[in-house]
Amino acid sequence: MGYNFYCSIFCQGKSFRRRSEFICENTKCRKKFEKLRKEIGPHNYCSTSCAAIVNNQKFPKWRPKLKLCKVCEKQFRGGNKYCSIPCYKQSRVRHEPDDLLKQIKFVYKKFGRVPARREVPNIDGACRYAFGTWNNAIVAAGLTPNRSHENRMYKRTITKAKDGHFCDSISEALIDNWLEERNIKHEKNVKYPNSGHVADWKVGNFFVEYFGLAKDSPRYDRNVKIKQKLCKRSGIKLIEIYPTDLYPKLNLSAKLRSFF
């Protein structure tokens, strides 16, 4: 009746096979292997190692070109200009001390004050190499160095005021005690509106700040200006206290008379 499509069970079994037989394309292998029909591709290898061997020969890995070191003329690979750190250090231009002093004096005339070390990064390292420290270079230029942290009037030493408030310095504790002795209600460390900055005190509708490092640190002066702008923007009255209001004599009545 024509119902049998295969001449034998053997041929019928072969029709159900889902694998095909191949020979590995790696000429050094030539191993016979089988693959599922859905895995057949344009190139067929018996293993990933054979595929890697053939592909590495066709497409060799990129290697950076050799360079010549500018100091020792040694060949090397990489993105650097010198083959080693000693060659890099040897290549650095050494400034003459007299030239450095001239540049310091020029910056002093330009700013109208003694420059801070971070304000002249182009000669900062050279000055410390030639003179030992930045302040030594300033002294060698015939100028008076800025006060160091140890000599500043304002030092960050946690001090407890009479009312239990913790202050960042003895100067702040003097102001806090002055307010407490006169029964003036005050809050410590109040945040500025919409800002991460913190005011030293809040007394009523006023913010009171002790600017102990004013004109002593450029970074500190920038923060002072930021706080002044925040107060203007928010309509907050700011009372500024400086070291001259505390030393040599405590004189806060003139600044804080609006609280009496």
| Residue pLDDT, tens place only, 55-100 | 888 887 767 788 888 888 888 888 888 888 888 877 776 788 899 9
Per-residue pLDDT at 154: 47
Q: The pTM is what?
A: 0.45
Residue 113 has pLDDT above 70, yes or no: yes
Q: What percent of the chain has pLDDT over 90?
A: 28
Per-residue pLDDT at 179: 92
Q: Please tell me what DSSP assigns to residue 159.
A: E
| Residue pLDDT, tens place only, 26-58 | 988 999 988 887 888 888 899 989 999 898 888
The burial of 236, by beta-carbon neighbours within 10 Å (0-12 exposed, 13-18 middle, 19 or more buried), is given as middle
Residue (of 67, 60, 135) closest to 104 by Cα position: 135
- More confident position, 112 or 234: 234
